[in-house]
Structure 1
Amino acid sequence: MSIHSFLSQHIHKAWQRKGLLSTLLFPLSCITQCIVQRKRRYYQQHPDAVYTSHTPVIVVGNLVVGGAGKTPVVLALITALRQHGYTPGVISRGYGVRIGEHAHLSAQNTEANYLGDEPSLIAKETGVPVAVHPKRILALQALNQAFPQIDVVIADDGLQHLQLGRVAQVVVQDARGLGNGRLIPAGPLRDLPSQLQHADLIVTQQTGSDISTSPEYIQGVPHVGMQLWPTAFRNLETGQCLSPDEALSLFSGKTVSAVAAIGQPQRFFSMLQKFGVNPQSPLSLPDHYDYSYSPFGKIDADFILITPKDAVKCKKFADKRIWITEVSALFSRADWHTPLLEILQRH
């Protein structure tokens, strides 16, 4: 585990309670709260400052810092919208990518060094049009102009980008929930906890618990549980694809390690353990790690499992030991997307 991942893990653990560290930092959180409230009040008082597109926008975001599972929800939502006759597109920030005045479009390039890792993954896995820019409005305008056939836009993150008009909000969280309920730096929240009540759907990613027991509502908002589960294993170098059972047979009796550069790497390792693979000495890397050099050479294992998000940046490493763990989102209810479809039908 890297120093960054070690510190991140312990900070998130500390944020689960109102301990001494949180109390000492609480005055700074009050400043954060004032900034957040002032920003929200401005857009409430100046609705003309909010950009509303002719294309309805569904924002998928989270209230806490760190990965909560937004991208799997975006992928699942794309599938659901297509099944109901919609033509979706996606806008995102493009984290780690230098973007000038104009948004980057997937029609020009789908690589991670152009779109960012998560938008690249979305573009490659689904083929939907993607536009990225730190200013989400510029991404939305570019997307609408380049792809006029799109009739609904999913904003991957952007819950706090209040200038971006939206018809629906999906809040994704994990077992941490709202933590100690305090804003950063005394807690994990980057927005007011009351904003949970303004969501149209809450999705909670779970690892160890049974998603079928998930409550249907949280604070009066429709809620579904979600788990990620391996659906296939694909060799990074050769492209060979194995079913879960075939992969388990291949890995049996061999040493298997895992590498993850996502918001919560331990969640990936826990999923593998529940699946039946116990990764030896798993390596946690910072979220959005750029893979400027290979971290795999020092790993002594017969097989190395990575996430799809990492895979879009690792193709340059020729190592037949690396296998991509392809996953799908399983929801506590098959009709999890119904609240969003009902909103779209009204628009």
Structure 2
Amino acid sequence: MQWLSNSWYRLHPVRWLLLPLSLLYRLIVAARRTAYQRGWLTRHKMRVPVIVVGNISVGGTGKTPFVLWLCDQLKQAGFKPGIISRGYGGKARHYPLDVTAQTTTAEAGDEPVLIARRSGCPVVVDPDRSRAAVHLLSQQACDVIISDDGLQHYALERDIEICLVDSQRRFGNKLCLPAGPLREPVSRLQSVNFVVYNGEAASQRYQMQLEASHWIKLTDPEQQLPLSAFQAQEVHAVAGIGHPQRFFDLLCEHEIIVHPHAFDDHHDFSAGDLDFGDELPVLMTEKDAVKCQAFAHPHHWYLPVTARIDDSLAQAIVNKLKDPTDG
């Protein structure tokens, strides 16, 4: 419901109608977290450290590029990371599901497949993250687990919590669902170990910039073009991500003439979604590309992005893994 999510980021009368539901939701969230903290509900402790990467709002905050960055930093520090995910958008015949570069997005969801292809690390998908973690450790020689989008999955104990925030949209109207975009109140940030802002954020210690340098053809990944290749050209820009406008804005910044086509996050693309009745280039994110390769055409291109973050964050995470009392 695009109109509802849009209402979260501007003054809209619908929020007053939904406010009672938001208050009820917030009470349920608080009660659930308290139940896990006090041991009334079972929490599962793994034999290796668990790093949770998530956010307190719905929609895209750049978790996937951050997870890829984190995997790379941990490997450079001598760790052997593995990733667990719920696999939103995928429907496997059985769980836990080991995700490889050959696994389809229909089975595992788009983000786990992308992470498996880009990171080279073992990835396991399961709606039950604790079960996914146990399976991962039984199959792989991992010494640290990254739980992708697992901030609210309190059944799995965690050693480090990292919360990502979109610096453009931040927290919207600061209300919890459904009147606002928040899964948990803003005060939750006080209890996480690290808060990372995606984009420019004045006075914030940790900031992430997403960098792109080239386009890759879906039908032939060996064929690449510089980022400036479509400058001053008309294109169709397709985005089925949490914050499509960020992708469209990036293209406009590079003087590309954009015909935007926004889809819901995790949209299950079909060939018809990319048929615009002309031969203009179709540009998309890498996350969307993993779902479109089966019916791609030669004029379809995607843009891989890489997270750039200050080295001090990587060092702080590694220090806390080696010494849990640090920080």
Task: Please indicate, yes or no, whether the TM-score normalized by the shorter chain is above 0.5.
Answer: yes
Question: Could you tell me how far 1:128 is from its partner in structure 2?
Answer: 0.6
Counterparts of 2:307 and 2:99 in 1: how far apart (Å)? 24
In structure 2, which of residues 186, 207, 221 is the aligned counterpart of residue 225 of structure 1?
A: 207
Counterparts of 1:18 and 1:306 in 2: how far apart (Å)? 31
Which sections of structure 1, spanning at least 5 residues, go unmatched?
A: 1-6, 217-222
In structure 1, which of residues 200, 211, 215 is the aligned counterpart of residue 203 of structure 2?
A: 215
Question: Structure 1 residue 237 and structure 2 residue 219: aligned?
Answer: yes
Counterpart of 1:236, as a letter, is L
Counterparts of 1:24 and 1:340 in 2: how far apart (Å)? 42
Report what 1:78 is aligned to: 71
Counterpart of 1:127, as a letter, is G
Offset from partner CA, 1:289-344 (integer Å, 9 cap, x none): 1113332222535311111111111111141100111111123x232323221210
Counterpart of 1:257, as a letter, is H
Counterparts of 1:48 and 1:32 in 2: how far apart (Å)? 19
Counterparts of 1:170 and 1:185 in 2: how far apart (Å)? 24
Written as runs of structure 1 = structure 2, the 5 A alignment for 1:235-274 is 235-242=217-224, 244=226, 247-248=227-228, 250-252=229-231, 254-274=233-253
SS at match of 2:213: strand
Give the conservation status (yes or no) of the 8 Å contact 2:195–2:206: yes
Report what 1:306 is aligned to: 284
Written as runs of structure 1 = structure 2, the 5 A alignment for 1:100-115 is 102-107=95-100, 109-115=102-108
Report what 1:346 is aligned to: 323
Counterparts of 2:11 and 2:233 in 1: how far apart (Å)? 44
Which sections of structure 2, spanning at least 5 residues, go unmatched?
A: none
Counterparts of 2:19 and 2:305 in 1: how far apart (Å)? 39
Counterparts of 1:14 and 1:73 in 2: how far apart (Å)? 27
Task: Give me the CA root mean square deviation.
Answer: 2.0
Counterparts of 1:79 and 1:47 in 2: how far apart (Å)? 37
Identical aligned residues as a percent? 37
- The runs of 4+ residues in structure 1 deviating greater than 3 Å are 10-13, 16-19
Question: Could you tell me how far 1:182 is from its partner in structure 2?
Answer: 1.4
Counterparts of 1:204 and 1:323 in 2: how far apart (Å)? 28
Counterparts of 1:67 and 1:108 in 2: how far apart (Å)? 23
Segment of structure 1 superposing worse, 107-116 or 302-311: 107-116
Q: 1:337 to 1:215 in 2, by over 3 A?
A: farther
Report what 2:275 is aligned to: 297
Counterpart of 2:273, as a letter, is P
